[in-house]
Amino acid sequence: MLKTFALFAATALAEIIGCYLPYLWLKQGKSIWLLLPAAASLAIFAWLLTLHPTAAGRVYAAYGGVYVAMAILWLWLVDGIRPTHWDLLGAAVVVFGMAIIMLAPRNP
């Protein structure tokens, strides 16, 4: 389970970086060269999604919970904006939903 969560976290980080770098170029006037590592990061993101061992739809749904939590962490650590109680509550609700999806009993 810890391995799966680490894989979700790495996948989320790759996606966030892949989207954040074009944002820096478009909204903050940073170098267009940021698009190269952004494209590489999004390619890594797509590759990481293929490493998850369960059905793709379930992976995408569960991954969304980790993505939201990582995005709130990014807001705090990279953007320097402290999450509100509402941000944290919303992330907790989503992560709880992800846990339901991932931990539900399955018929073989």
pLDDT tens figures, 44-100: 999 998 887 766 677 777 788 888 999 999 999 999 999 999 999 999 999 898 888
pTM: 0.80
Q: What is the 3-state secondary structure (H, E, C) of 19-73?
A: HHHHHHHHHHCCCHHHHHHHHHHHHHHHHHHHCCCCCHHHHHHHHHHHHHHHHHH
Instruction: Show me where the domains of the chain are located.
Output: 2-103
